[in-house]
Chains A and B, each alone.
Chain A
Amino acid sequence: MPTTITPTSTEPKPRRHLEDHDHGSGRRPPTDKRTGGGGDNDNWNDRPNGRRGPRERLVRYRMGIFFALASDLMFFVAIVSTFFVSQSTGHFDAYNNFVNEWSPTLIPPILWLNTAVLILSSITMETARRRMFHEVDVMDEWLGLGKPITRAAIPWVAATVVLGIVFLVGQWIAWTQLAVQHVFFLSNPSSHFFYLITGVHGIHLILGIFSLIAALAGLYVSRSLETRQIMVDCAAWYWHSMGIFWLFLFTLLVFFQ
């Protein structure tokens, strides 16, 4: 008759050493995605949460920025739904005929250029982000061969900053062009929304530029590779979603007035 023999575990479970914990920038190469095992007495699951290797902090911050962007999305959704409503609400004048004062704001053509610039900046930012995780450079840096990551990423981040500023200037020009046509914030419900949307989005971009500059500074200053990766990564995701928000808002302003 068949019998199943379950071998009792002969070797004792490897003891944890309190001193060998890894704060993310430790002995473990930052590109390493293994968590433990391998009999190397270094099972990362034996660590308390928050101490489990290079990418954990990164993932946490990434998720944080995503939730922030989600709630920001609701902010824009609220404004857009107000846009739809006030677009079609009217009132009755004394003679009981329906008046809707909404007259579409003409979109200054420069906005198309700005949009292209923003898309371009997103591309440069993505390149910078990718550079931060470029495995060979990461290994070089981890082995102590200078800061190739920083060197590789800085120009791209800087380019993004420049493009972002160009975009903002472009938006400002668009505003002045409208002002020349005597379309002001107060002129009309649709102009309310044009200035409101572009303005709010512009403020978001200014914040984005600040975070990019912070990331640049971090690239110079910070010694921890992981910190630099986090800064650039979060700034990048924020920047991308601002670009996507702009694409939606721009389509709204162009086609849905």
Chain B
Amino acid sequence: MISPLRRYLFSTDHRVIGIQYLVLALVSVTIGTLLSLLMRIHLVWPDRIVPFHGPILPEDYLALVTIHGTIMLFFVLTTAPQSGFGNLILPAQIGAHRMAFPVANAVSFWLTAAALVILLSSTFVPGGSAISGWMAYPPFSAVASAGPGQGAGMDMWLGSIAVFAIAGTIGAINTLVTIIKLRCEGMTWDRIPLTVWGWFTAALLSIIAFSVLLAALLLLFCDRHAGTSFFIPTGDLVSGVIHAASHPGNGSPLLWLHLFWFFGHPEVYIAILPGLGLTSMLLANFSRRRVFAYRMMIVTTLLIGFLGILLWGHHMFVAGLNPYAASAFAVSTMAIAIPASAKVLSWLVTVWRSRPRYTTAMLFSLGFVSLFITGGLTGPVLAQPILDEYLHNTFFVVAHFHLIMAMAGIFGLFAATYYWFPLMTASSGKSGRMMSERLGRLHFWATIAGAYATFLPMHLTGLMGEPRHYAQLIGVPNAAGHLLAGTLPLNRFITWSAIFLATAQLLFFANLIHSLFRGKPAPPNPWQATTLEWHPALHPNAPAKAAEERIVVYRQPCEYQSTAGEELILPQWSTDAIPNIKPE
């Protein structure tokens, strides 16, 4: 009998760790959403007083932006799909009973939690949190006197991200070894579920990217405290202080841009790749079809990851990059649109004339497809340097990455939650619970409406020329004030939509809490899925001695037969077809 502390807090069981990650992500996403609401409200009603805080000063606004971006990207979109569901589901989907390195797994989680605590507590240090955005361009981020929050706040930001990078690397190593070494018999190259391919590619990108980020952070730290100048040019004059005497040598800020975006772009693929895989699997499952062009999907997943390493330069078109280099990066960026469209085509063909079952998970996968299309199509536009010269750092970009990364990523997470909730709530001996479908549908329609209402108009304000990171649109002097004032009506609409979108998530929380305690008990394989996480021996409520059972895989996932009216499903683990019990 192990103590509850050992079991729930410092557990090395991958399921418990997965849940811990998801809880952490849920906390983070709540905080991040509230911060974004504060920003939206401040943009259109700048004179509102925040309770317990007073008016939002420009530096507060920039701190909000920075913390919002950092939390959402690192602690939600990286943590939840890759580490959360990666721990909960990944071993089962490849027929393994455990992750490769349970202790390293727990260490990785606690490092992540520590990173989050460091980041959030940076709000309380003198000067407040960092205000230089999540990309922290030097010299702004390298010189403490460049602004409030660039002192202790920036240091804590650096520390938090460094710890997170280490944690992410450990987790990625664990994932990779698990996928490569612990697959069960017969789980060959093209029988691996696409979700696992997503996790694999994302983990691969993590071990490549995070260590580069770590090196960049180390150099930036030296610039801030050891008096070097890797990123600070000679004779840089920040707030009356010349950094020539104290900083020998001549750094180049562009160096940081290269190093950071070498990490930063793979990072956004780390956030979205598991969602891509999950969408393919869910669409196929609920429309009772094979995934169309399965091998093609594997190749495109790997290709997206591979190209993701080679196109960081498209973040630097107007940053002083050599125009020829800009052209080259534009080509490589356009190239990645092709595997992405291949995925979309496969989804469309998979559901084409299939009369799928509209469960909530399916709805969210369809929503993922829609958002991926809408948000993805603006990618090629931004990939053209001459257009990026106008759109760079406007709200057009904000709309682009919020649709394709934030919203699509979140939709993937929602789909995963509704789909795997029975596995998340099941424990040995007692079966899991389903989430309420009625509430779920309501939640879906509210969320997708809110998402589009919030982020589609942003394209327009961006085209009107509204830049990012602006703490105010009202009361700006000169002709700029006129330009910005023109975007106010749309911005009011966006703010209202954002409030609606955030409020709609209360439905999700209600559903979560309700189903946790009162959800109707789940059958062993509620969705008639074919992947291994529903295998009786790998199910969380399997008896302990099931760990001795030998798992063998005979076929690709998502194989169904519909002969003479009655449908048969062929799970990966079974030699013969099982009649598909139509849910009432």
- A-chain residues with CB within 8 Å of residue B250 when the two chains form the complex: 86, 89-91, 99-101, 189
Whether A60 contacts B100 by the Cβ 8 Å rule is: yes
Given contact pairs A64-B100, A67-B177, A49 touches B249 in the complex (Cβ within 8 A): no
* Min CB–CB distance A158 → chain B (angstroms): 27
Bitwise interface map of B from 544 to 566 toward A, beta carbon under 8 Å scored 1, else 0: 01011111000000000000000
B212 at the interface (CB under 8 A from A): yes
From A16, A56, A64, A85, B550 is in contact (CB under 8 Å) with A16
- A-chain residues with CB within 8 Å of residue B545 when the two chains form the complex: 18
- B-chain residues with CB within 8 Å of residue A76 when the two chains form the complex: 215
Q: How large is the interface on B (under 10, 10 to 19, 20 to 34, 35 or more residues)?
A: 35 or more
Q: How large is the interface on A (under 10, 10 to 19, 20 to 34, 35 or more residues)?
A: 35 or more
From B101, B229, B549, A48 is in contact (CB under 8 Å) with B549
- Nearest-CB residue, chain A, relative to B187: A49
Q: Could you tell me the distance between the alpha carbons of A196 and B226 in the complex, rounded to whole angstroms?
A: 11
A contact patch SS: helix
From B185, B214, B248, A101 is in contact (CB under 8 Å) with B248
- A-chain residues with CB within 8 Å of residue B551 when the two chains form the complex: 48-49
Whether A74 contacts B249 by the Cβ 8 Å rule is: no
Whether A86 contacts B176 by the Cβ 8 Å rule is: no
Number of A-B contacts defined by CB within 8 Å: 130
- Nearest-CB residue, chain A, relative to B244: A91
Given contact pairs A82-B219, A187-B248, A63 touches B212 in the complex (Cβ within 8 A): no
- B-chain residues with CB within 8 Å of residue A63 when the two chains form the complex: 176-177, 180-181
* Min CB–CB distance A189 → chain B (angstroms): 4
Whether A49 contacts B184 by the Cβ 8 Å rule is: yes
Q: Could you tell me the distance between the alpha carbons of A3 and B98 in the complex, rounded to whole angstroms?
A: 49
- Nearest-CB residue, chain A, relative to B94: A49
Bitwise interface map of A from 174 to 196 toward B, beta carbon under 8 Å scored 1, else 0: 00000000000111110010001
B456 at the interface (CB under 8 A from A): no
- B-chain residues with CB within 8 Å of residue A77 when the two chains form the complex: 212
Whether A74 contacts B207 by the Cβ 8 Å rule is: yes
- Nearest-CB residue, chain A, relative to B185: A45
Q: Could you tell me the distance between the alpha carbons of A67 and B104 in the complex, rounded to whole angstroms?
A: 14
Stretch of B28-36, B251-259, B320-328, B350-358 contacting A (4+ beta carbons < 8 Å): B251-259
Whether A186 contacts B215 by the Cβ 8 Å rule is: no
Q: Could you tell me the distance between the alpha carbons of A90 and B251 in the complex, rounded to whole angstroms?
A: 8
Q: Could you tell me the distance between the alpha carbons of A188 and B249 in the complex, rounded to whole angstroms?
A: 6
Bitwise interface map of B from 152 to 196 toward A, beta carbon under 8 Å scored 1, else 0: 000000000000000001001110110011111100000000000
Q: Could you tell me the distance between the alpha carbons of A124 and B200 in the complex, rounded to whole angstroms?
A: 36
B222 at the interface (CB under 8 A from A): yes
From A51, A71, A102, A196, B173 is in contact (CB under 8 Å) with A71
- Nearest-CB residue, chain B, relative to A187: B248
* Chain A interface residues toward B at CB < 8 A: 16, 18, 21, 45-51, 56, 59-60, 63-64, 67-68, 70-72, 74-79, 82, 85-86, 89-91, 99-102, 185-189, 192, 196, 200
Other A-B pairs beyond A82-B255, A185-B228, 17, CB < 8 Å: A48-B550, A49-B95, A49-B97, A67-B177, A71-B173, A74-B212, A74-B215, A78-B211, A78-B262, A79-B215, A85-B252, A90-B250, A101-B250, A188-B249, A189-B250, A192-B228, A192-B230
* Chain B interface residues toward A at CB < 8 A: 95-98, 100-101, 104, 169, 172-174, 176-177, 180-185, 207-212, 214-216, 218-219, 222, 226-230, 233-235, 248-252, 255, 259, 262, 545, 547-551
